[in-house]
Structure 1
Amino acid sequence: MATGAPAAEASTVARRNPVSQSPIRLYAVPVVLFTLGLFFQLVVLPSSFTTSHYEVLGLVESASVDEVVSGYEKLSSKWSAGLDIPTAANFIKIRYAFELLTNPLLKRDYDIFGVDEQLHIIETVKKQYDGKQFAQVPIPLLNVSFSDSMEKAEGKLTSEDFFSSVGKNETWLIQAYSAGSHRCANFSKAWKRISSLLDGVANTGIVELGEVEFASFLAERRSTGQPFFRHGLPALVAFSPNCRSSRCYTRYDGDLSVDAIVDWIATSILGLPRILYYSRETLVQNFIAKSGQHKNKIIFFSKTGERAAPSLRQTAKDYSAYAAFAFVLWKEEESSMWWNMLEVESAPAIVVLKDPGVKPMVYHGSFHRSWFANIMEENKHQDLPQLRSITSMELGCDAMGHSRAGNSTLAWYCVVVAGRPSFQLNIMRETLRSVRKILMNDTEPDFAHENALQFPLSAANALKESRLTFAWLDGETQSKYCFFYLYLENSYETCGPRRHGDPIDVPKLFIVRYRRNSTENSLKPTKKVKSIWNRFEDEDVNLASQLVARYNGSDNLYEVIKWISQIIDDGDNRNLPYFDEDDTMVRRHYAAAMQAEPADARQILSTDSDSE
């Protein structure tokens, strides 16, 4: 026991003292790490870099064409003398390097941008002639018969063109290409098609790699600083409006098909909405029923099933507040159904669905942008337009605006039917459409009818003078607007969401009279302008007073026309003073008018005139 204790203590001391350990164990870990690092630098790292074509020929990088020819001839003379006979694989590499570096276009693209799009030929020929003599390998290996298919193409850009054209309020798609690239030559037809499809929504241009500075600007950079195109040529770069720097442009890295590129520009760069395809089973349920009561439905019938062109998508975006859009693939076996349903004879065709019960409008012909834009401008409103914030000014139904007849008009009118979407509302909308047709003489009045013997002309004249507008309100989705005009105890029958236990929906008809005072500007007190912000302080005010009368009569067309004419007669012939929006008199007139029965509305207007 006594002799064992000193030995154990000595062993413990040895473990604690590194100097006493074996030198091999002490330096084993550093030696292993050093060996692995050396192996990585000498073997792994070099193998990750491909041998350049210059190295294959034993030349320095960027050697001249003459030096390339001289280097190849030296190797060839050795082979002729029976020295250093290469294998077929080595010969293929040497010959490929010689052919590429002696072609000016290929050498330029390789030296500056690292472009080497025929490199796959080496492996292909090596597999074909593996184990054979090098003399059996057919030469030349490269196809250098280039035809610059873009030579006569429009839209060629130089650096000067770029700074004078790109970076303004337009979108640009620029293609970097090489006259020595077969891929670019094969892409030329697709590019023409792309340029045609983008016409009117984006500009297109092309840059040949000979414009080195410009092409380098479009390329990415390696760690060595060399510009390169990650996905080869052709390379596509998009510039959004007001963009002309590498910080804001976008490179395309997808498939080089026309559809993929055009959709990328339209969706990702221009932000245009896609127009989806629907089948006969889903068109009504998923499109017509879900696209909103306030929008017209535009249906394209296509024979090809192609995606909507950007020009159509741009027009669809411009009119998205007024209409919803859908595509249907035309099938001959379904033609009879589409004829019975929408009166479509063949494709291509465009169908415009407006108000419920209104006959569809069908246009047959190709989808050209200008033609389609004209169709949309003519049909952006429903047959009976909806009174909305974006349409109120255009319809002349806004106290902050003017009549459709012009800024000098003093009195004008809007007849509105309000209600929750329902069968009853559709009937009232049809009633107003019929009233308007009668007043426009599209439908002659039935003079045999007892009410037609005293057919009033005031409403007809006001409509033809553009002082009378007909519209409708969605009482559910536009509840605030609806309650504003129909603030009555039973307004919940018309406005707001349906409540449990409510009776059937009750649409209501009312008329709004707008009136301006021709001397209103002269009556305003003159204020001293303190700053530029005070200058416009009084501009956001109502230009016209509003009086509202509600109709409680029958749905007889002539009774409605008679009521409208009575309101217009009184509104035109009795001069009422102009009041500001906050004036208590306006609130009194407004509240009284909203509570008025059809016959009472005349009395209210008369009272206003008498009080003057």
Structure 2
Amino acid sequence: MPSYELIPGCTSPQNKICSDDHAKICTILLPHPQLIDINLCVTGSWDLFPKQWWDRIELNFKRRMMDNHQILIGVLALAGLAAVYGSPYERLGLPLNATEDEIFAAYRQISSYWGTETLYNQSEIKQIIQIEHAYQLLSNNDTRRDYDYFNIDDLQEDVAQALKQYEEEGDMVEIRSPVFESTVFGKKIFSTANDLTMANFGELVMQSSDPWLIQIFSHVNPDSRRFSPTWDKIVELLEGVVRVGRLELSQLELALILAERNWLNGYPFFRNGLPAIIAVPPSCSKLDCIKRYYGEKTADAVSDWMGSRLLKFPRIMYYSAQALV
């Protein structure tokens, strides 16, 4: 039975921490923003995680520190607002490996110039909101993780709403404290589906003779939250037909494994954003046979895809009473 464990300093198959050198591959996946390397030591079946697959992981993700202010990372290229105001790190004047204390100190220094009784024009308000956006994104471990590793900004909707509210107040306005309040923090998305982890994925999913439908999501992602009722309906519709599970991005190592790869640079991403939906066919013993869903995120569409495309069930056409007249 496969087993998975995080081993500090596990950097080569010769590392003796793993007892079975013939069935173990060790690789550095990604450096954490705080410069804590995530090292994954895998023991178990080579069929589940073939060596060629891990070699690609190491090739694409092994990065080195250049100096105290620069680290090679390719998932910070946000379009839109970032193109104008820079990345959250740039807005606060911070390196990508900034600590929590450094993030707070930079924000406190910048925000100390904001007068609560001062009127600001809309251009200044936008800059202030972007500073607040950067601070809230980077000061929360979950939103920072989603941004650093998967290029997902969970606060975009809050920022857009704040910009709209300030614009409606007039050309010259005072700023509030806080500048805007996020709606994503402090809430968990509950489900009756199986929670998947690095510890149970190999045995529960990859060694299963049953098909699996899996949602990849984040507790702090607004789209994941809106999808929750739809997911509950999918679980109900597919009960007894397939096994259903979900993976939260806090299970970072497994999320990196199941993410797609940018064909230009190899970095992880989810093509249709979050939540991402994948399916594992029966007796799928290799990651190459995992299927990805790119269609409409409705209960009927996902269930139909799972039944007709994955399980090869015959499609039953339904017609309204008006269509049959």
Specify which of 203, 209, 215 is matched with residue 164 of structure 1: 203
Query: 2:133 touches 2:155 (CA, 8 Å); kept in 1?
Result: no
Q: 2:133 aligns with which of 96, 121, 127?
A: 96
SS in structure 1 opposite 2:113? helix
Equivalent position SS for 1:122: helix
* SS in structure 2 of the partner of residue 277 of structure 1: coil
The Cα of 1:221 is off from its aligned counterpart by 2.2
CA shift for structure 1 position 193:
2.0
Residue 152 of structure 2, aligned match among 115, 120, 125: 115
Q: Secondary structure at the match of 2:314?
A: coil
The answer for unaligned runs of 5 or more in structure 2 is 1-76
The verdict on how the C-alpha distance between 1:62 and 1:246 changes in structure 2, with shifts beyond 3 A counting, is farther
SS in 1 for 2:226: helix
Distance 1:217 1:124, change over 3 A: same
Q: Which of the two has higher C-alpha Rg?
A: 1
Name the structure 2 match of 1:61.
96
Match of 2:57 in 1: none
Say if 1:232 and 1:133 are closer, same or farther in 2 by CA, change over 3 A: same
Kindly provide the CA deviation profile for residues 333-375 of structure 1, in whole angstroms up to 9, marking residues without a partner as x: x9xxxxxxxxxxxxxxxxxxxxxxxxxxxxxxxxxxxxxxxxx
**Is the 1:172–1:204 Cα contact (8 Å) retained in structure 2?**
yes
Aligned to 1:208: 248
Aligned to 2:295: 254
Distance 1:134 1:95, change over 3 A: farther
Q: Secondary structure at the match of 1:135?
A: coil
8 A contact 2:184–2:221 mirrored in 1: no
Q: Larger % of helix: which?
A: 1
Q: Which protein, 1 or 2, shows the higher relative CO under an 8 Å CA cutoff with sep ≥ 6?
A: 2
- Cα drift, residue 65 of structure 1: 1.9
- The answer to whether the Cα contact below 8 Å between 1:166 and 1:244 also exists between their aligned partners in 2 is no
Closer/same/farther in 2, CA of residues 81 and 147 from structure 1, 3 Å limit: closer
C-alpha separation in 2, matches of 1:141 and 1:245? 44
- Cα pair distance change 1:63/1:244, threshold 3 Å: farther
Q: CA deviation at 1:259?
A: 0.8
For each residue in 1:496-552, what CA deviation from the matched residue of structure 2 results, as whole angstroms up to 9, or x when unmatched?
A: xxxxxxxxxxxxxxxxxxxxxxxxxxxxxxxxxxxxxxxxxxxxxxxxxxxxxxxxx
Q: Does residue 276 of the first structure (1) align with residue 321 of the second (2)?
A: no
Amino acid of the residue matched to residue 294 of structure 2?
A: D
Give the match for residue 12 of structure 2: none
The residue matched to 1:129 in structure 2 has which SS? helix
SS at match of 1:205: strand
Return the offset for 1:64.
Answer: 2.0
> Helix, strand or coil for the counterpart of 2:152?
coil
SS in 2 for 1:159: coil
Among the aligned pairs, what percent are the same residue?
35
Give the C-alpha shift of residue 140 in structure 1. 2.9
Secondary structure of the residue aligned to 1:233 is coil
Normalised by the length of structure 2, the TM-score is 0.64
Deviations 1:418-453 (A, max 9, x none): xxxxxxxxxxxxxxxxxxxxxxxxxxxxxxxxxxxx
1:81 offset after TM fit, Å?
Answer: 12
Q: How much has 1:224 moved relative to structure 2?
A: 4.2
Across the aligned residues of Structure 1 and Structure 2, the Cα RMSD in angstroms comes to 3.3
**Which string of whole-angstrom CA distances, capped at 9 and with x for unpartnered residues, describes residues 111-169 of structure 1?**
2222213314334433443433452586333214432132x634111123221122343
> Residue 113 of structure 1 aligns to which amino acid in structure 2?
F
Q: Counterpart of 1:146? A: 186
1:62 touches 1:111 (CA, 8 Å); kept in 2? no
SS of residue matched to 2:210: coil
Q: Does 1:75 align with 2:110?
A: yes
The whole-number CA distance in structure 2 between the counterparts of 1:116 and 1:54 is 13
Question: 2:78, 2:143 → 1: CA distance?
Answer: 25
**Contact 2:281/2:310, CA 8 A, preserved across alignment:** yes
Distance 1:103 1:153 in 2: 27
In structure 2, the CA distance between the partners of 1:205 and 1:244, relative to structure 1 (3 Å rule), is farther
In the superposition, relative to structure 1, how do residues 281 and 116 fare at CA in structure 2: closer, same or farther (>3 Å)? closer
Which residues of structure 1 form unaligned runs of 5+?
1-44, 284-333, 335-612
Report what 1:597 is aligned to.
Answer: none
1:229 matches 2:264: no
In the alignment, which of 176, 184, 194 is matched to residue 155 of structure 1?
A: 194
Residue 241 (structure 1) aligned to one of 282, 291, 295: 282
Count residues with an aligned counterpart.
Answer: 238
Query: Is 2:78–2:151's contact at 8 Å kept on the other side of the alignment?
Result: no
- Quote the Cα distance in structure 1 between the aligned partners of 2:132 and 2:309: 44
TM-score (norm 1): 0.35
Contact 1:129/1:137 (<8 A) preserved: no
Separation in structure 2 between the aligned mates of residue 175 and residue 47 of structure 1, nearest angstrom? 26
Q: Which residue of 2 aligns with 1:173?
A: 213
What letter matches 1:214 in structure 2? L
